[in-house]
A and B are shown apart, each in its own frame.
Chain A
Amino acid sequence: MSSLSLQGLRRTYSATVAVDRVDLDMAQGELVALLGPSGCGKTTTLRMVAGFVLPSAGRVLIGGQDVSRAPPYARDTGMVFQGYALFPHMTVADNVGFGLEMRRVGRAERATRIAEALRLVRLDGLAERRPAQLSGGQQQRVALARALVVNPSVFLLDEPLSNLDARLRAEVRVEIRALQQRLGLTTLFVTHDQEEALTMADRLVVMDRGRVRQTGSPEELYERPDNLFVASFLGRCNIFRGTVERPGRLRAGTAALPCDGGAPGERSALVVRPERVAIVPGEAGEGGLPGRVGLVTYLGGLTDWHIDTPAGPVLVTRPTPAEGDALRRLSPGAPVRLDWTEAAGRLLADDEHTADKHRQGDPR
């Protein structure tokens, strides 16, 4: 029995289909991230689980029980809202204790559990403060404590890190994950930040225009995307369009590119991650893709090379070579050859609209 199960979930607003046929089964203690661009239906999905939005079709099951039509107060979910939604007229302790009070937990036990929850989010000592007297990061942790303290069947977070600055975000990310694992909470997490999703989640659900495009572990989705949308939304990628010449070779213009199989004659898109591309200085050598160096971006540990090739611009990311290495001395205009293994070239159906928008898209 799944801890949380969404079955054919759908929600429409007059002509808009906000969420369409979303299926998901979550195991106890699993953290799943709903990931997708703004407006793809993540929040609406989460709110259907919490009970703030009723599905137009489909079912929500919590612990095997159909709660599709149950009011929010009867669902036993703990939600962290995007803007935290703390009760401004209550102290931190009363905010955290509210859910316990609603569950008729006695005063003494309540006090213990509030103290414990505040310690868990490292806010002990601030129990008597008002939300307005706290920093954004502290408010965020109060919101976490408030949702955690009731030990909900499902823990829900809607972009909980979006209001924090970059440094705090990385820190809280780790904290939330640690708490979630320690407490064994079944967690559904909404984000549009792929890095957040990749680093935190056991599984990702990538959504686009209300639909699920692929569900799987971060590794599965990054290494073996099902479609161009997922490939280009998660991480950066090079996309080549062409016709399969023979299994393992895609013809794109004058270039024959290595790919993982394919049926001869098939129109396809080839996706190669920039860190899978090998780069060799000079014009000599057989096979591979010849090109000339364009922009070189030094990123510290990594370096980006933008290479102009007959098959279009290609992005290559590699650990920055040691000083004195021939690669290090490549300047714009220098000839190079690019190559990758057949396994690194993922062949996908050519799905026009999504691809161009995200071509070589920077993750941020």
Chain B
Amino acid sequence: MPLLLLPAALLVCVMMMAPMVLLFRYSLNLYSPTQLMVEALSPANYLNAVRDPYYRDVLGTTLWVALLCTLLALAAGFPAGYALARMRGRWKAWLTLLTIFPLMVGNVVRAAGWMTLLGNTGMLNAALRGLGLVGEPVQIMYTTGAVVIGIVTVVLPYMILTLASVIESIPRSVEEAAANMGARPFTVFRRVVFPLSLPGVVAGSALVFILCMNAYATPVLLGGSQFKMMAPAVYDQFVRTTNWPFGAALAFILLFVTLGLTMAGSALLQRRYRG
């Protein structure tokens, strides 16, 4: 067995750990407009990021957008995941394929699609105006709402498939036993299906939350220049301002906040519903 793990372990070490270590080292360096990066061992970048109200704001936006998107994906994904898990035969294969179909389109392409659909001169507004429902175009693009819709559609397949695989492992007879004992469908869900799906809820939510926290293309394309989330902010530091140390510090703040919240959230959910 250990031998079988070797290729993956090597790949992770070389391709992930090495850049991370390097990046972390950079985050302790200092920035100079002339030399770009100066060797140092200083927490200054982290302190600056935390003190700056602008970046606190960006982190705050990132957090609540990610949280909202995770909750929406869970709410929309559970019924779909359940239906998929309980489906049989040919339909199931087709619907599974349909679920992963959106993943075959890149985020950028999809966001571009949303732009043509939701923009002021897009199809939705054209239709609304054509029907005489609105005079002025409705501003949908470049709002938080557009970003949230965009991100949810990206992460939903992950949520659905994770939940479906866990729900599939719950025997149908356990649900039937609850119904037989007098539980109505919603009670069966609340007392039996949901608690038993918890590993899937935790895994799906963690996965989706991490994806949302790191969303890049969707907030940039659908949120516009005024809307900032962490991943685009990190990119700006590296590419626009070429302040690598500060960008690296932002990246690690994003990493630690994501990791911390994911673990805390999982632990909380597990404890709350155990038993």
Contacts and interface: CB of A to CB of B under 8 A. Distances in A.
Interface of A: 50-52, 71-73, 76-79, 81-83, 85-91, 98-99, 102-103, 146-147, 150
Contacts of A88: 174, 196
A102 B192 CA distance: 13
B275 A91 contact: yes
A79 B177 contact: yes
B183 A73 contact: yes
Looking at chain B's contact residues, the main secondary structure is: helix
A90 B275 CA distance: 6
Contacts, number: 64
A98 B180 CA distance: 10
A71 B275 contact: no
B184 interface: yes
Interface in B171-195: 171, 173-174, 176-184, 187, 191-192, 195
Contacts of A52: 176, 179
Given A73-B183, A83-B171, A83-B173, A89 B178 contact: no
A81 B177 contact: yes
A81 B175 CA distance: 11
Nearest to A97: B181
Contacts of A146: 177, 181
B187 A102 contact: yes
Nearest to B175: A85
B240 interface: no
B184 A73 contact: yes
A102 B177 contact: no
B106 to A, nearest CB: 40
Given A87-B192, A89-B274, A91-B275, A81 B181 contact: no
Q: Which of A50, A87, A88, A103 has the most CB of B within 10 A?
A: A87
A99 B191 CA distance: 12
A121 B195 CA distance: 27
A99 B275 contact: no
Contacts of B196: 88-89
A146 B183 CA distance: 14
Interface residues of B, number: 19
17 contacts: A77-B180, A78-B180, A81-B176, A81-B177, A83-B171, A83-B173, A85-B176, A85-B177, A87-B174, A87-B178, A88-B174, A88-B196, A98-B178, A98-B181, A102-B187, A103-B182, A146-B181
A9 B185 CA distance: 26
A182 B177 CA distance: 24
Contacts of A78: 180-181
B149 to A, nearest CB: 35
A286 to B, nearest CB: 62
Contacts of B187: 102
A309 B187 CA distance: 66
Contact of A150 (B174, B176, B181, B274): B181
Given A71-B179, A78-B180, 12 more contacts: A50-B176, A52-B176, A72-B179, A73-B180, A76-B182, A77-B180, A79-B180, A85-B177, A89-B196, A98-B191, A99-B181, A102-B182
A85 B184 contact: no
B275 A89 contact: yes
Interface in B154-210: 171, 173-174, 176-184, 187, 191-192, 195-196
For the complex of A and B, the 7 pairs showing the least CB-CB separation, nearest first, are A102-B182, A99-B181, A85-B173, A85-B177, A72-B179, A79-B180, A81-B173
A226 B81 CA distance: 51
A98 B175 CA distance: 12
Interface in B210-265: none
Contacts of B274: 89
Contact of B179 (A73, A83, A91): A73
B7 to A, nearest CB: 35
Nearest to A149: B181
B176 A72 contact: yes
A64 to B, nearest CB: 20
A125 to B, nearest CB: 19
B175 to A, nearest CB: 9
A258 B4 CA distance: 74
B242 to A, nearest CB: 54
Contacts of A50: 176, 180
B99 to A, nearest CB: 27
A150 B275 CA distance: 22
A85 B172 CA distance: 9
A53 to B, nearest CB: 11
A103 B187 CA distance: 12
B271 to A, nearest CB: 13
A93 B176 CA distance: 19
Contacts of B180: 50, 72-73, 77-79, 147
A87 B182 contact: no
B182 A73 contact: yes
Nearest to A103: B182
B174 A102 contact: no
B253 to A, nearest CB: 37
